[in-house]
Chains A and B, each alone.
Chain A
Amino acid sequence: MKKFINDPYKVVDETIAGILKAYPYHLRMAKESSRALVRADAPVKGKVAICTGGGSGHIPLFLGYVGPGMLDGVAVGNVFSSPSADDMLAAAKETNSGAGVLYLFGNYSGDKMNFEMAAEMAAVEGITAKLSIAADDVASAPHAEKNRRRGIAGIFFAYKLTGAKADTMANLDEVKATADKVIENTVTIGVALSPCIIPAVGKPNFVIADDEMELGMGIHGEPGIERTKLKTADEVAAIMADKVIKDLPFKAKDEVAVLVNGLGATPPEELFILYSKFYDILGAHGIKVYKAFIGEYATSMEMAGASFTLLKLNPEFKKLLDAPAFSPFLPQWRK
């Protein structure tokens, strides 16, 4: 294991320490938990607070999406493990302005149970908290069982649009409805080329040969749809695009936002090679790209690979996508 660490069991806390030193104008720790971070200016008066959370090891997911125009707070778990309900509650208490809290997070059993528990505990404290669960990974369950799907990079669109909706001072039900509708119209597929190492485990989380790729592998190494010989970028893009387009399905004249996400070790150059093909395939289907986002939005530490996400847009979604937002973790973000 070749990593810049001091102690494998202190990786998360030392990462948080570095982040708070780097961006003190942007983030601060919640009073009741060292594993809950919130906007420096939280709570924002009159606005529904949006909080998320999940295991560490995916930066900029999850804490990188806290900021004006996006999220208010985040609970930070150990590498690839859910934060505790207590940490989630601390984030809600610190960000709630009285308009309630939306917990928006990815569909993993540990996270789901803890957020449910946190929402019950919040109710006892007089805070209304509702849940929206992102489940965009087409490879993890068939369309008929959509609510079993895992949440991966596509949650970026839910964060961005829901954050913009909350900025309009919409109420909690309206904010949740936006999140749920974005989630419903978001589909992602990933491809993995090489594994990552959880510091506390010390060895790769799965084995894959130098000349192989795995279609649909999850961001924690969960088994995918199939393992094959590595193909050219254009061939890989065609397989990925096919799975995503057929799922919703996306049709001619649809307008979409596209996200091509690197898993950590794949260089941006390769993401653009993939995007070039995605763009052509979408064009051939008569699907119009409204905006494209290429870069690292949800990583798995040093895992090599990429994911491809489409969000079907409508006029309101376009407005929400274009609304201002800021986080130092997303320097590539532009209106």
Chain B
Amino acid sequence: MSKTLNTAGLKTVLNETAAEWRTHSDTLQQLDSILGDGDIGVTVDLGGKAIIDCVAAFADDDIGKMLMKCGMSVNKASPSTFGTLLASAFMEAGKGLVGKKEIDVKDIAIAGQGAVDGIKKRGGAVVGEKTMLDSLVPAVEAFKQALANNPDVKGAVSAATAAAKKGMEDTKNMKAKHSRASYRPDGGIGVQDAGATAMYYLIEAFGKNLAAQIG
């Protein structure tokens, strides 16, 4: 039986994850200014801070509600396209865990799938269109796949992180179908997507901190 994570443990994971994620904001700002308007870096900075503030202020112990509250805070702090999609991911992930005070790896997989569904529903994109889904979807699939074979958290995390990295790198060869890049005749081919990159950094940091808690 694998270890479980209570509300306090998840707060630590989210807090550390957001802090690490924010350190990438300058890199992301530069990357996003090639095809977008450069606001993904700002969103990562403000959105990361909103997550840190939200978990610190959350007094209840319902994990689902905490994730939904984080989504609202991210949206309020940065209602950019990326910020709003990230907020939708948190809100949909939270919906699946409402009422839980303790979660295990299977719940993490449910939340991951919720995040995918939330982003797809709100943004209307699918895999292969040069968006944050291109790193998130392979990561969630790899995580679920790894757990089906072996309930080892560390193994599942490293499979998910590797899949996210490959998905992120693959966006270089994709043509954008959404956002500003889609108005370019070349669709941004040759440039790695800033949204997919920001999502990779988030997955990397989350996986590392999750493994540290229950690995």
Given contacts A81-B80, A86-B75, A86-B76, contact A113 B88 (CB under 8 A): yes
Contact check, B79 vs A85: say whether CB atoms are below 8 A apart.
Answer: yes
Q: Please tell me which stretch of B10-18, B135-143, B175-183, B207-215 contacts chain A, meaning at least 4 of its Cβ atoms lie within 8 angstroms of it.
A: B175-183
What's the minimum C-beta distance from A85 to chain B, rounded to whole angstroms?
5
What's the minimum C-beta distance from B152 to chain A, rounded to whole angstroms?
37
Q: Which of A81, A86, A223 contacts B183 (CB 8 A)?
A: A223
162-176 of chain B: CB within 8 A of chain A: none
What's the minimum C-beta distance from B180 to chain A, rounded to whole angstroms?
7
Interface size on A, residues (CB 8 A): 17
Given contacts A113-B85, A113-B88, contact A81 B79 (CB under 8 A): yes
Q: Which of A86, A87, A113, A140 contacts B81 (CB 8 A)?
A: A113
Q: Which of B39, B123, B179 contacts A81 (CB 8 A)?
A: B39
45-96 of chain B: CB within 8 A of chain A: 72, 75-76, 79-81, 84-85, 87-88
Given contacts A84-B75, A84-B76, A117-B87, contact A110 B81 (CB under 8 A): yes
A87 neighbours in B (Cβ, 8 Å) = 79
Which chain B residue lies CB-closest to A80?
A: B37
Q: Mark A111-123, 1 if CB is under 8 A from B, else 0.
A: 0011011000000
Contact check, B183 vs A110: say whether CB atoms are below 8 A apart.
Answer: no
B76 neighbours in A (Cβ, 8 Å) = 84, 86
Interface size on B, residues (CB 8 A): 18
Contact check, B183 vs A117: say whether CB atoms are below 8 A apart.
Answer: no
The reply to whether the CB of A173 lies closer than 8 angstroms to some CB of chain B is no
What's the minimum C-beta distance from A139 to chain B, rounded to whole angstroms?
11
B88 neighbours in A (Cβ, 8 Å) = 113, 117
The reply to whether the CB of A222 lies closer than 8 angstroms to some CB of chain B is yes
121-148 of chain A: CB within 8 A of chain B: 140
In the bound assembly, the distance between CA atoms of A190 and B178 in angstroms comes to 22
A82 neighbours in B (Cβ, 8 Å) = 79-81, 84
A-B pairs with beta carbons under 8 Å apart, 18 shown: A77-B79, A81-B39, A81-B79, A82-B79, A82-B84, A85-B75, A85-B87, A110-B79, A110-B80, A110-B81, A113-B81, A113-B85, A113-B122, A114-B79, A117-B75, A117-B88, A222-B183, A223-B184
**Apart from A109-B179, A114-B84: 4 A-B pairs, beta carbons within 8 A:** A81-B39, A82-B79, A85-B79, A86-B76
